Every structure is written in structure tokens, then in C-alpha cells.
Structure 1
Amino acid sequence: MAVDATQHGRDPCAEKREARAEAAERADRDLFDTLLSDFKRRHVAKLKSARTVSRELDRFALKAWHGRNIHAITRRDVVDLLDEIAESGRGVTANRIRQYLARFFSWLLEREVIASSTMTGVRPPAPEVSRDRVLTDEEIRWLWRACEEVAHPWGHP
């Protein structure tokens, strides 16, 4: 084989080096870190809550899957991550991470990086209860007093 390549004026060692470099580039291209960075730059940056979404994805998903190939991350990995967050007493945070990851994997699906979404069938790990908080009369008095001490637009002009 090497004889044939050299007879045609090609360098077999250089071809092998180029093939290895291309394979490494393709492997880096499918790393969770790389894809998450692209997602945050192209999609999350446009959101009002970009800082929060980015911080939470880094804090949980990137910490758990740093350096992993996106094709190696399974539904089981996602469920384990969400369960771990929910069991630590942060059920609403686990639900938000699920939403962020669902959008991330949908984005990967749109770009044909993955063939099917890892998030299909993953349910919110914790129930959410809406808050029914109403200020007490005493709290309203404190608010009015504070507004009177502060200048316009809350207090007197």
C-alpha cells in the first residue's frame, strides 16, 4: 500500500496524520462541551434569562457530562441527573434543567447532530405548586412607608 502511494507522489505518513487530525476534529465537534457552548452562543444568548440558563446548564449538566461525546449521553443519564437534583431538595431547579436540556436536545435534533432526542419521554421530576402569597396588612404598611422615604417614581416627587 505504501509503495502505491509513494509511486503516485503521495506521502502515506502525512495522509495518516491528516486522517488522525480530521478524526480528532470530528470527535471534538461532538463533545457535549463544544455543543453546549455553541447552543449558549447561538440560542441562549438571545434570551432575557440568558445568564440564569447558562449558569444552571454549566452548574449541573456541564459538570455531569464534561468531556463526553453527545452520542454517549443516554436518557438514563438525564434521568439520573434530574433525580439527583430533585433528591437534594431542588425539585423546581430539576424541572428547569429538564426544560433547558429539552430545548438543547431539540436544537441538536434540528441541526442533525443526533438522530433522536434523548429527552423524549423524560417527565418533570418534581411537582410544582404555584405560590399563593399575598402581602399582609402589616407588610403593605411597611411598603408604603418605604416608598414615602424613597424619591420619585415610588415616593413623593
Structure 2
Amino acid sequence: MPERAAASSFTSRWKSFSPAILRKNSTQAYTAFANSSIKLVSDVSDDEPWPDPYEMGAAALRGIALPQIAELRPHLVPEIAIWGRDKVSLITGRADALAIIGDRVDAAIDGKSDVHPTPAVREAHVQQLRDYLSATGAACGAIVYLTSGEIAWIGPP
């Protein structure tokens, strides 16, 4: 399996377990996430180093425990496909979570595992979230850097 395919496969399989974190208490979520991560890491057959599965689970739990995210947690719906159109293009994607209150999308949440994102990478994250805001009509969104615990709000917090 080529390195890029392995990394892509690992990332997409890892992301598929993230909705469980929103639906369980912290201990259950951490245990389920860590066990799933261990299985994913053990299934990869290349020689590249992989993230520590326990740290992956802990980082995700730290992210949803951040006060501004924890406040939204009862309203968060994970892994929602979105689509829309702006003035020049079509927008499609999968939001990590949308805060849905009543019949409207209040906020879009996008978790990132980057340890030291460059300014260019951060700008790409902002543009991705702006696309999600445009497609969903949400007033604001948050880029949650899981490793550092930083939250970058786009639009009013």
C-alpha cells in the first residue's frame, strides 16, 4: 500500500470513530476511541510512525471539554454532509459537527489535529470553515486545534 494511501485510509477510518465521542460519557468515549485507534494503527502496514492512539483519544476529549465547545455539546450533531452554492462555485464537504438549535444551524465546528500549523495551513482551515458557514447559513464557526486546545472563532463567537 503506498504511503499516501495508507495515511489517507488511516485518517478517514480514524475520523469515522469521532461521532462516538459526542454520544458517550468521557470514560466510555475515551475507552472506545483508544481501543478503536489501537485497532486502526495495528491495521496499517507501512513503516511510518503513527500517532499514539491514547493521545488521539485524549486530544479529542480535551477538545469537546473546552468550555466554549462543551456549552454547545447538547446541540452538536457529528459528521454532517453539507452542500451549497456561493456566488462562483458549489460547496460540498463533511462538517465535523454542527450545532443545531431548533431549526437552524447555529455553529459549525471543525476539529484539527495539526501540532504546529503554518499561517498558510491556518488560512486554508479558515477558508474551509467559511465555506461551511456559507453552505449551512451558520452565523459562526470554530476551528478547534485539538493538540493545543486553541479555538479560532470565525464570525461572532
TM-score (normalizing by structure 2): 0.32
TM-score (normalizing by structure 1): 0.32
- State the structure with more CA Rg: 1
* Higher fraction of strand: 2
* Higher fraction of helix: 1
